[in-house]
């Protein structure tokens, strides 16, 4: 995708794929408790909410799944979910999410399959502009860490 030059938005493309892979692993590890809670949701209920576009209900499920692990409002459902299925196969569910922090906003998907759950970051908007790869990764780690609730 080619768009206007923006020195604040970093998009996951061929040139940045390795940088995003590092952040995806960090994000997946950081929100594994949230993902585990989402996996406990009845799949038929979630699929019905996706099919009927009940975004408020999906948002409530995401918020309640995040409340034990993340500061309020920092991990949110982005009002879009997809369901990809073929007759006789387990559906692939994708939920669009945002991770917000005063220094950045990361846009990503949580992907649920019958064999795996994955995290796919598609872009990050840095409030103070894009830095080097290493700087961006450090800023991402600080933002994620700052958003996590410390378990005692």
- Alpha-carbon distance 5 to 84, whole Å? 33
The domains of the chain are located at: 9-146
CA angle 133, 138, 139 (to 5 degrees): 100
Average pLDDT of span 26-33: 96
Average pLDDT of span 9-28: 88
Asked if 50 and 112 count as a contact pair (C-beta separation under 8 A), the reply is: no
- Alpha-carbon distance 145 to 29, whole Å? 11
- pLDDT single digits (tens) 65-123: 999 999 999 999 999 999 998 888 888 999 999 999 999 999 999 999 888 899 999 99
CA angle 126, 131, 137 (to 5 degrees): 75
């Amino acid at each position: 995708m080619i768009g206007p030059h923006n020195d604040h938005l970093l998009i996951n493309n061929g040139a940045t794929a390795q940088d995003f892979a590092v952040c995806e692993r960090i994000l997946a590890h950081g929100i594994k408790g949230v993902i585990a809670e989402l996996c406990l949701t009845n799949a038929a209920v979630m699929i019905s909410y996706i099919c009927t576009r009940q975004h408020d209900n999906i948002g409530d499920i995401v918020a309640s799944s995040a409340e034990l692990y993340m500061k309020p409002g920092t991990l949110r459902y982005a009002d879009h979910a997809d369901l990809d299925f073929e007759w006789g196969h387990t559906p692939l569910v994708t939920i669009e999410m945002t991770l917000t922090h005063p220094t950045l906003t990361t846009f990503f998907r949580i992907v649920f399959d019958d064999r795996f759950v994955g995290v796919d970051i598609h872009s990050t908007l840095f409030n103070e502009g894009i830095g080097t790869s290493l700087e961006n990764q450090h800023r991402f780690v600080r933002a994620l860490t700052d958003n996590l609730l410390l378990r005692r």
